[in-house]
Structures are given as C-alpha cells and as structure tokens.
Amino acid sequence: MTTEKTRARHETLDLEEADLKSIYRAMLVARRVDERSWILNRQGKAAFVISCQGQEAAQIGAAYNLRPGHDYLYPYYRDSGMTLLLGQTPRGQFLSLLGKKEDPNSAGRQMPGHFSSRELNIVTSSAPVGVQYPQAAGTALAFKMRGEDGVVMACGGEASTSGGDWHEAMNFSGIHDLPVIFLVENNVYAISVPSKFQVAGSIAKRAEGYGFPGHEVDGNDVLAVYEAAKEAVERARRGDGPTLIEAKTYRMTAHSSDDDDRRYREREEIEAWRLKDPIIRFEKYLFENGLLDEDEKEAMDAEIKAFVAEASDYAENAPFADPEEALDRVYAEV
Ligand SMILES: Cc1ncc(C[n+]2csc(CCOP(=O)(O)OP(=O)(O)O)c2C)c(N)n1
Ligand SMILES: [Mg+2]
C-alpha cells in the first residue's frame, strides 16, 4: 500500500526514464517542426500549414503504444507529432510541406498533412473529414479475419464525429469486436465553429451505445493519454474489441495558415490555454521527479532545433518533380 502511494505516476504505468525522455523529445520535435513550418509559410516558401501545436500530448501519448510497421495508423491532417514518433522524419515533413519530388507521402502531389507510409502502415487521409474511420474499421476486420494481433488507431477532430461515417465505423466495430482505437482529438474548434455548435453531449459517452468503452481524458496530460491508450491497445490486442478515447485539448494556432482566428476567438482564451501547454506541463513533471534539469533541457532543445533547421534547409534545396512526372502514380495508365 505505502509503496504504491509513493510510486510516481510513470512507474505505475511501467514507463522507464528512457521512455519518458523519448516521449518528451518527440513532443519537442513535433513543436519545433511545426514552428519552423510557420516560418517557411511567412517567408512565402510554404503555401499551406496545418498545425499540431497544443495536441502533442494527445498524439504522442496515444501513439507511443503502437508498434510501427505492425499496427496501422489512420491519422488526420494534424497528426504530424504522431507520424514523427512512428518514424516519419522532419526532413520528410518539410519535403512534403514544400511539395518537393522526394516528399515521402505523395511525391509532391498532395497537400501537407496527408501522411502516408507503406513501411510504417500509415494510411493517407482523404479530403472529406471522417472517412478514415470506416477505412480503419475495414483494416481492423482484416486483422481479425487473419487472426493477427495488429491493432488500428484512427484519429480525427471532434467535428469528424458529427458525420455519418463516424457512426457507421463505431457501430460496425462494436458489432464485430474489432481491434480498433478511435482517438478523437477534441481541440474545441472546427475551423471557426466552437464545439458547442458542433457536438451534442459527450463524445466519449457515445461509446456506451455502441457497446464498448469510451474514455474522456485530459488531452494535455501526456501520461493520462498514454494510460488510456495503453489500456485500449491491450484490450484490442487481446481480441476484446474497440475503445473510444476523447482527448480534451486545444488548437493553439489558427485552423491553418489560411485562417484568421482573430475573427472568432478571444486572445485571452488562447492565453489561458497556453498556461496548460502540454509540453511545459510534462517538463514540470520531469523536473519534479528529477528526470530532467534545465541544462539537459537546453541541450536537447538546441540539438533538436539544429537538426530541424538542417532538415528544413535540405527540403528547401531539394528539387521539384519534373513536369513530365505529374501524372505518374495518379492514373494506372496515362
Ligand atoms: C465532410 C467535410 N466537411 C467539411 C470539410 C472542410 N473542413 C476541413 S477541416 C474542417 C474542420 C474539422 O474540425 P475538427 O474535426 O474538429 O478537426 P480540427 O481541424 O479542429 O483538428 C472542416 C469543416 C471537409 N474537409 N470535409
Ligand atoms: Mg476541432
């Protein structure tokens, strides 16, 4: 009893110091890549940016439970933190951002945010919000029919749960006890529409109606998200079926670089959420538990900033695709 009380939170989750450092590092890499992307946009080099800032804990806490290349991920456009954790690189993200030939997602054909990797089992998203959910259910059904222990994670924003695709996927997954985890990153806005005008009631509680567990977690607390996702992934791997996780978080930037959020939300609201910044919060936990100090933090950040800058320079200098290649891999035959 006493020992249980004095154990730190991460110890009760079987996370070791190295895990915590990897998680922290992944959150910081995601943030620095994102910040750099906005600079490239303001310099007129990147046409469009869509950000993960504020959602790093939700993304990395959840994805830390996946086995890259074995499990499947159906990310949505904000999940750069998640895809970086699973093995995509800052260089690849900048190549995609700038539409270069070497872009690993689509060789410069898709908008940024359409993460895709055959090796890592990351399936590209389609333009309509929410269609990833039935696709993810289909992949989970394949795992089940083949008797394999892979799991599928499908992600989206809260507004993606207002569409019919979400219901169909939830219902089908519930009927067939599929090994799928639905992660809803509830960041309060759907472009300019606040969630009170987009979502009726609780998203997490809807899971009960489909016959499987739903959990609402503090999406800015990386350990809370990790814990919920760990349980969900274990449950799916055991063959016990789906789980819905609603991670309550906040979109710290405008919807995209084409959006002016000053028209629909107060600066004070953003400032209040900045105090709950998931990275600063996790840093505090690491400091308090003697797992990180100022010097180590500074050194890690400097190292990350340097290699992010290097990745961005590489992408800037990389060639665009040749015009003759424009239709390659778009049609089976031209
Ligand atoms: C079916 C459909 N409707 C509308 C859009 C336009 N659209 C793109 S992103 C977006 C907001 C989605 O909000 P949410 O799901 O909360 O994700 P967030 O951007 O907040 O992370 C909308 C309405 C779309 N792509 N697809
Ligand atoms: Mg949203």
Number of structural domains, the chain?
1
Catalytic-role residue among 25, 167, 176, 264 = 264
Here the CATH number for the domain that contains residue 205 is 3.40.50.970
* 212 falls within a domain: yes
Cβ–Cβ < 8 Å for 230, 9 = no
Residue 15: its pLDDT value, please?
98
- Which tokens in the block code for residue 306? 């340097």
Predicted local distance difference test score (pLDDT) of residue 283:
98
Check residue 5 and give its pLDDT: 63
Catalytic site residue 251?
yes
pLDDT at 1 over 60: no
Which residue blocks in the chain are alpha helix, DSSP H?
Answer: 2-6, 9-12, 17-42, 56-63, 80-86, 90-97, 132-146, 164-175, 203-210, 222-238, 267-274, 278-288, 294-317
* pLDDT value at residue 2: 47
Residue 324 lies in a domain: no
More confident residue, 334 or 227: 227
Task: Provide CB contacts within 8 A for 97, sequence distance 6+.
Answer: 37, 40, 46, 49, 112, 315
pLDDT of 287 higher than 50: yes
Residues with CB under 6 A from ligand 1: 78, 127-129, 156-160, 163, 187, 189-191, 251, 255
Is residue 19 included in any domain, yes or no? no
CA R_g for the chain = 20
| 243 touches 212 (CB < 8 A) | yes
Dist. CA 301–CA 259, nearest whole Å: 29
Compute the distance from residue 209 Cα to the ligand 2 centre, in Å. 23
Per-residue exposure over 84-94, b if at least 16 CB sit within 10 Å of its own CB, e if not? bbbebebbbbb
pLDDT (tens digit per residue) in 109-141:
899 999 999 999 999 999 999 999 999 999 999
Count of alpha carbons within 13 angstroms of residue 58, beta-carbon side: 33
Amino acid identity, residue 43?
A: Q
Residue 245 lies in a domain: yes
CA 23 to chain centre: 13
Q: Give the ligand 1 atom nearest the CA of 130.
A: 1
pLDDT confidence of residue 329: 79
Residue 191 pLDDT: 98
Pick from 129, 249, 261 the residue to mutate for probing ligand 1's pocket: most ligand atoms within 8 Å of its CB. Answer: 129
Is pTM beyond 0.75? Reply is: yes
331 assigned to some structural domain = no
In this prediction, residue 334 has a pLDDT band, given cuts at 50, 70 and 90, of: low
pLDDT grade for 28, boundaries at 50, 70 and 90: very high
161 assigned to some structural domain:
yes
Whose CA is closest to atom 8 on ligand 1? Answer: 129
Percent of the chain with pLDDT over 90: 94
Q: Per the structure block, which two tokens stand in for 80? A: 């750069």
Per the annotation, the verdict on 264 as an active-site residue is yes
pLDDT tens, residue by residue, 311-326: 999 999 999 988 888 8
**Boundaries of domain holding 227:** 24-256+264-317
